Amino acid sequence: MNKIKVHHYDAFSTIPNMGNPAGVVLDADTLSEREMQEIALKVGFNETAFVMNSDRADLRIRYFTPGHEINLCGHATMASLYCLKSKGFLEGRDSLLIETEVGQLPIDFSQTQDNTLLITMKQDTPEFMPFKGDVGKLAESIGITAEEIDQNLPVFYGSTGIWTLLVPIKNWIVSSE
């Protein structure tokens, strides 16, 4: 494999190393799935995005964790689009359509008064499934007691591309120790 340039972006922060890190590989059309997986493993971030051409949308993005491909990743999408926009690849574009494994998603770009780039991404249609496990064991597995889970709200799985367990916590206090 030739040398591949991986751009490092920290989504959702203007402070280096304080956002959600993602690797971005531009012009990834010639990479095999195996090569993308190897790159993601070497990069070591939760997700690395691979930007490709698309026959169905303006561009395609594939997402790999160090262990496998995933359908969609919000922060890696934002990192990819910021990379493309800030490097002039999307000059004059206020919107585009991206192809992902969950389908085609619309993207909009705008500028704030202070010239900050805002990127808006429409998520896939949300899906929900009830959690049918033991709430006490769940609480223990995340280091809290069952009493700290709000019993007035459901524990459930939600997805707009990746399934996530949503656990309503009564009161979350972060210690500075």
Domains in the chain with CATH codes: 7-121 (3.10.310.10), 127-166 (no CATH)
Segment 135-140 mean pLDDT: 95
Reported pTM: 0.81
User: In this predicted structure, what is the pLDDT of residue 173?
Assistant: 66
Catalytic residue check, 148: no
The tokens describing 79, both together, are 């990192």
pLDDT digits (tens, 9 = 90+) for 91-112: 999 999 999 998 999 999 999 8
pLDDT class of 82 with cuts at 50, 70, 90: very high
Helices (H), 44-126: 74-86
pLDDT class of 174 with cuts at 50, 70, 90: low
List 33, 38, 47, 148, catalytic entry: 47
Does 177 have pLDDT greater than 60? no
The side-by-side arrangement of strands in the sheet containing 163-166 is: 127-130, 156-159, 163-166
User: In this predicted structure, what is the pLDDT of residue 163?
Assistant: 86
Per the CB < 8 A criterion, the answer to whether 106 and 97 are in contact is yes
Q: How far apart are CA 127 and CA 158, in angstroms?
A: 6
Burial of 50 (0-12, 13-18, 19+ CB in 10 A): buried
